[in-house]
Structure formats: C-alpha cells, structure tokens
Amino acid sequence: MKSIIVGTDFSKGSYVALDVAVDIANKMGTNIKLIWVRKDKSSSDEKDQTQRLAVDKMQSLCDEHAPRLHGTITYEVKYGAVADVLGEEAKKLNSPMIVIGTNGAKGYERYWRGSTACRIMLEAPCPTLTIREGFDFNRSLQNIVLPLRINPYSRQKVPYAATMAKIFGSRVHILGLIENVHSMGTLKSYLKQVEEFFAKEGIPFTCIGRRYENFTDSVLQYCSEIKGDMVVVNTEKQRLITRLFLGTNAQQMVHHAQIPVYCIQPKEIGSIAR
C-alpha cells in the first residue's frame, strides 16, 4: 500500500497538516509516513537529545492518530536537506502526495524559502499539499478553486482537482484567466472541455473567465470572493534560470495563501492534459 509523506517540525502547522493527511489517506486507501529531517549525522549530547525528543514526539503523534487511520502510520528520522529527503522518500514509496504545514517565517517555512521551496515544487515526484498553521481542520473543504490559463500545462491540474473534490465532496470553481480579450475564444474552448470533464465525473462546478495582470493576486482575490477552501496550482514549465529566483506563481501562492495549496508537477497524464 502506498504512503502519504508528511513532513513535521512539531509546529502547530505541521500538526494540522497531519490531521488533514489522515483524512486524505482514509479516502485514498493509503498509509502515512511521518518524517522529521535532521540536517546531519554528526553526534553530540545535544543533538542526540534533540533526536530522542523528536522520536518521542513522533511516536506520540502516531499513537494519537493511529485509531482514526484505516491504514498504518509510521515515522522515521532522516538526514540531509529537507527538500531532497522528502522528495527521495516520496519517490521510493511511490507516494501520492507530500503534505507539510507552514507557519509564516517559523517552522517548516524557514526551510522552504528560496531555492528549497523552488526545488520541492519543481522536482517533487508527486503533488505537494501545503497547509497554513491557522487553517481550521474542522472546516469543511466545500470549495476548491481551479485556476486555468491558456498554455500546454495548465489543464493537467484538472484530474488532481477532481480527485480532491471526490475526497472531500467539494464543488470545483473553475477560474479561467487571460491577459487580453483577444484570447477569450481560445479560453472558452479550454473551459468547455474542462466543464465536460467535471460533468462526466459527476462533480459539481462553477466556471468564470476573467482578465488578469498578476496571477497570484487574481486567484487569491477570487478565493476570497467565493470563500475558497483550497486552491490547485501547478509549477508550470519554466526555463532553468527561472528556477533560481523567488517569485514563481506556485511559490507566491504557497507564501501568501491562507488556505491549503495543492501544487502539481506537470507531466503527461492523459487526453485532458493536451
């Protein structure tokens, strides 16, 4: 059975992420692998004590969540760079997703700035779900926002959004975005195909088209208007030089969204992606 990877730093945000991951694992029929990353293997009394405390905390978390989880929950201390460790473990276990919590400038987000955030979102072998500390776990995920633009990769998010909608019984709000009105005809064609897909899957949806100047601002504004509970984005294909800098749309979304962000690494996934 596959396992969802949950990274923890024992912050409130990571606890909320684990709560959400348990719900997802139950619906997807997967196990959970909880991971705490230690930067190096060097030994000292202080570092050994820190690791013992981390192991005790992870065991406590597993004991707490095991009764609610249909599958199994295990934990492990790993060594190295956080992005590399989580990505490698996800690949090894063929994980359906990586789930982590974010706490502003504290906790996991201190690892997720700059190149580390870029690497995880661009190179993870599976989708990543980021959850803010302040997110209300008891809140029903009724509204999933799916922004779409006219490019070869944007619609690859569609099946993933459908999966999350089925898991949580959500409505998908399709937000078509264009930079100028001359692209409206093409956008309508894109949106029609996506609407047909959700209708066939029996997933409730709404659909709207808008012009935009700043992608992140426009998406977050729409999330606020319809009280969105999750937004699905992808990393998009970018030149290598772009990966070296902050400011990609996916990164901006993770840093600024107060709701969970489900980030997809584009790849060939079927006719809906083309």
Mean pLDDT of the chain: 85
Strands (E), 113-161: 128-132, 143-148
* Residue matched to tokens 């996991």: 108
For residue 143, the cross-strand partners are 171
Q: How far apart are the C-alpha atoms of 54 and 47, rounded to whole Å?
A: 10
- Check residue 62 and give its pLDDT: 97
For 274, the token pair is: 């083309």
Helix (H, G, I), strand (E, B) or coil at 203: coil
- Check residue 41 and give its pLDDT: 72
- Check residue 7 and give its pLDDT: 92
- Check residue 73 and give its pLDDT: 97
pLDDT tens track for 11-69 = 888 898 999 999 999 999 999 999 999 877 777 777 788 889 999 999 999 999 999 99
- Check residue 224 and give its pLDDT: 96
Query: Phi/psi zone of residue 192: left (φ > 0), alpha (ψ -120 to 50 degrees), beta?
Result: alpha
User: What is the percent of the chain with per-residue pLDDT over 90, rounded to a whole number?
Assistant: 56
How many CA atoms lie less than 13 Å away from 206 in the CB half-sphere?
14
